[in-house]
Amino acid sequence: MNILEVKNLTKRFSGLVAVNDLSFEVEEHSIHALIGPNGSGKTTTINMIGGVFPPSEGQILFNGSDITKKNTHEIARLGLGRTFQNIKLFNSLTVEENLMVGGHMSYAKSGIVNFFFDFRNARREETALREETHRVLEFMHLEEIAKRQVGGLPYGMLKMVELARTMMTNPRLILLDEPAAGLNPSERRELIDILARIYEGGVTLFLIEHNMDVVMNISHVITVINFGSKIAEGAPVEIQNNPEVIRAYLGDRYNLKA
């Protein structure tokens, strides 16, 4: 079953066609990468899927429902999580508090009015939120820094905290925008390990990534775009040997026949 279907997506910014009639499907419980040269339309594509802005043309289905015109909050509530190229965390809050804010959307259903009129219900939700926060902190190996203020943390850790916060919304699909960018080799290994564990937990992952070691290591399917259009799609070994992909993006480094 496809958890995500992107159909004939086009995005124009004034005169520029950033994404051009792009179609692809993401199978449920897979790791799917979108790669391509700088400026080829990857971020624009992920922004349309996540509801940052609507496409000029085309349709996006998530779990069979049309999400083409939904905003970021509506899409997140349906179970589509997201991390950003520029990390978006609350610097003055601790790691634990950032996760609780992230989870608040899916857990605190009683709202502020009910909080006063149905204190017991609000207490139950608060307890569930705390339990989930601890479960995610443990899963992501972040318990040791739970009480640290986010503002003082190194970049690699911030990326892990951002991913943990996304996990708090209990997503079925996570869109990852360059998860390995700025990480050192040991942080990259840790990232590969954590993404594999998230996938094994039943979550589908869709990532944009320039680090080909990461992409080739974890992806089941890779879609390649150039100038906003799809030029290839397949398993890593097929992509590494595709002459058009080598010419447009990979160069010879990843050509197994080279």
Ligand X SMILES: Nc1ncnc2c1ncn2[C@@H]1O[C@H](COP(=O)(O)OP(=O)(O)OP(=O)(O)O)[C@@H](O)[C@H]1O
Q: Which is nearer to ligand X, 13 or 119 (CB)?
A: 13
The only residue of 44, 83, 133, 204 in contact with ligand X, by rule CB under 6 A: 44
Residue 43 lies near ligand X (rule: CB under 6 A): yes
Kindly state the smallest distance separating residue 231's Cβ from ligand X, in Å.
Answer: 13
Q: Which run of H or of E encompasses 215?
A: helix 212-218
Q: Which is nearer to ligand X, 9 or 75 (CB)?
A: 9
Stretch that binds ligand X, among 31-39, 57-65, 68-76, 160-168 (CB under 6 A): 31-39
Could you give the strand order of the β-sheet that contains 57-62, starting from the edge strand earlier in sequence? 16-27, 2-13, 57-62, 65-66
Q: Which is nearer to ligand X, 41 or 58 (CB)?
A: 41
Report how many residues bind ligand X under the rule CB under 6 A.
11
65-66 vs 57-62, strand pairing mode:
antiparallel
Neighbours of 18 (CB within 10 A): 20
Neighbours of 87 (CB within 10 A): 17
Structure tokens at 85: 């190229």
Kindly state the smallest distance separating residue 18's Cβ from ligand X, in Å.
Answer: 3
Strand partners, 7: 59
Q: Which residue has the tokens 């850790």?
A: 157
Residue 55 lies near ligand X (rule: CB under 6 A): no
Q: Which residue has the tokens 């624009």?
A: 44
Residue 103 lies near ligand X (rule: CB under 6 A): no
Residue 50 lies near ligand X (rule: CB under 6 A): no
Q: What are the residues binding ligand X (CB under 6 A)?
A: 13, 16, 18, 36, 38-44
